[in-house]
Amino acid sequence: MQRALPPRVLFTVVVVITLILLLGSALLQRVVFRAEEVAGSLYLSPTSFVAPLGEEVRLVIRGQVPVGTISLGAELYLDYERARLKLEDAQSASPWQTLSLTDSDGRLSWILAPRMEEGATTELAGEVEFGRLKFRTQTEGPVRLSFDPTKSLLGVVAPGQEPMVYNALASVQDSAGAVRADASASTTAQLLGSPDPSPERKLSQALSAQRILANEVLTYPNLALVLVRLQYLGTVEIRFGPSPEMGSRLRSIGLSTAHSLKIAGLDEATDYYFQVVVEDQSGSRVVGPVKKFATNRIATGAIDPRASRLELFPASAKSDALALVVLRDSANNAVAAQSPRLSSESTNVRLAPVTEVNGLYESTVEFIGNGRERVSITATSGEQTIGKQTLVFNDKLEERSVPSQTKLILSVDERLMITVLGLTIVLFLAGAVFTRLIRAH
């Protein structure tokens, strides 16, 4: 006859198993969710085009990641309209080599890795070129090329966080165009599609509790940074283009209430239209108004402190925020090749080095304290003070999902799911142990 375990031993075993499961769930969350700390993007250049029938269309696949990020490779899935375009050539750019390239029914699958002579990894410097594509136009009509955000990935190691490997892809950007036998720039506006009508905007606002609290655009010579703040968790799509029809698209991937999206591949000193479209977890959409922004040029003059500033986004955060040092001259052009610095009197924040891409200076402010704290951040360039702004950190801050009136079961946070799973396993093991004890008696 088998002897039963003493109650104290049984209790100790259950407690140990519970601690192991809870520790394992915390590590799993760290591996899975910290992928958002490195935000990268993919886009095609040019972002819009009009091509003659039967002629070549050449596009460049580019990306943007924080300076100093170590890359292990990229897996790209690009969809295009095979009836309009025929792929003739694909060439990887330095320092990449092609591991796999397939083209099937309008979907290009391309796996890239650093060249052997460059080593197993390569350090990325902000804006990255992955490869060049050559298409041949087949038939007339509008055409769109778009990355699949669910399958494409950028494998990176964040600086100072080795050996953590992340998928850094946070947003993808489409390229829209048109094929015409009598192609000209004046036909672009009629061929790149049309924005959502105002009835859709009114309907989506009426059906969804989601709200666009704020959206701001910071412009640079060849890119624009769109900052969007939402009331509830959601994804953001930016529609943009040189005409009110806005044929190009830029989409975020993860759910959040604070989105920063870079529209790249733009022409300098050019007017662009844009529109913010938000989709929440229930599938409801909120369509914002059509607005305009204008790219500028690289400045030839000195920094004008009155036109420059420090931008912290979002203004209240749980663990980290984006810090943007906006350097402008008196004509509001971007001042490049400077070395701005961030400082704070608080010992509970960690300030990352400021990096620059074409006049865009950015950094991150990480909260390493506990509870709630108001932190003052100061930006300087040389002897000049650029700006000072206060940031509120709260480690209890939670982003909320859109309340649903039609669903009884709401979306469950991933951390809660992992905890429930761990507790379920504990209960199962405890039940198995008690069953064995009963059988032994």
Asked if residue 49 and residue 124 are part of one domain, the reply reads yes
Does 145 fall in a domain? yes
Asked if residue 151 and residue 49 are part of one domain, the reply reads yes
Asked if residue 201 and residue 246 are part of one domain, the reply reads yes
Q: How many domains does the chain have?
A: 4
Mean confidence (pLDDT) of the chain: 79
For residue 121, give the DSSP letter.
-
CB atoms within 10 A of CB 244: 12
Asked if 249 and 176 count as a contact pair (C-beta separation under 8 A), the reply is: yes
For the chain, percent of residues with pLDDT exceeding 70: 75
Q: Tell me, what's the pLDDT at 113? A: 84
CB contact set of 280 (below 8 Å; sequence gap of 6+): 208, 210, 232, 233, 234, 286, 401, 402
Does 187 fall in a domain? no
Provide the strand spans (E) within 120-255: 122-123, 127-137, 141-147, 153-157, 166-167, 169-173, 175-180, 212-219, 224-241, 248-252
The mean-pLDDT minimum among 175-184, 229-238, 315-324, 399-408 falls in 399-408
Confidence of residue 204 (pLDDT cuts 50, 70, 90): very low
Q: Which of 127, 156, 179 is the last residue of a domain?
A: 179
Asked if residue 143 and residue 24 are part of one domain, the reply reads no
Asked if residue 333 and residue 276 are part of one domain, the reply reads no
pLDDT surpassing 90 at residue 296 = yes
Asked if residue 316 and residue 419 are part of one domain, the reply reads no
Does 27 fall in a domain? yes
Q: Which of 242, 270, 295 is the last residue of a domain?
A: 295
Asked if residue 61 and residue 152 are part of one domain, the reply reads yes
Q: Which of 147, 179, 211 is the last residue of a domain?
A: 179
Does 347 fall in a domain? yes
Asked if residue 233 and residue 152 are part of one domain, the reply reads no
Does 404 fall in a domain? no
CATH of the domain at 73: 2.60.40.680
Can you tell me the mean pLDDT for 355-362? 89
Confidence of residue 152 (pLDDT cuts 50, 70, 90): confident
Can you tell me the mean pLDDT for 178-204? 50
CB contact set of 282 (below 8 Å; sequence gap of 6+): 208, 402, 404, 406, 407
Asked if residue 291 and residue 310 are part of one domain, the reply reads no
Asked if residue 308 and residue 287 are part of one domain, the reply reads no
Asked if 219 and 266 count as a contact pair (C-beta separation under 8 A), the reply is: no
Asked if residue 157 and residue 88 are part of one domain, the reply reads yes
* 243-276 per-position pLDDT tens digit: 888 888 898 888 899 999 999 889 999 999 999 9
pLDDT surpassing 70 at residue 72 = yes
* 103-140 per-position pLDDT tens digit: 988 899 999 888 766 555 566 666 788 999 999 999 99
CATH of the domain at 217: 2.60.40.10
Does 86 fall in a domain? yes
Does 74 fall in a domain? yes
CB contact set of 256 (below 8 Å; sequence gap of 6+): 230, 233, 234, 399
Does 54 fall in a domain? yes
Confidence of residue 180 (pLDDT cuts 50, 70, 90): confident
pTM above 0.75, yes or no: no
Higher pLDDT, 55 or 407: 55
**What is the residue range of 63's domain?**
39-179
Asked if residue 44 and residue 24 are part of one domain, the reply reads no
Whether cis (ω within 30° of 0) applies to the bond prior to 6 is no
Please tell me the distance from the alpha carbon of residue 150 to that of residue 308, in angstroms, as a whole number.
Answer: 38
Higher pLDDT, 436 or 287: 287
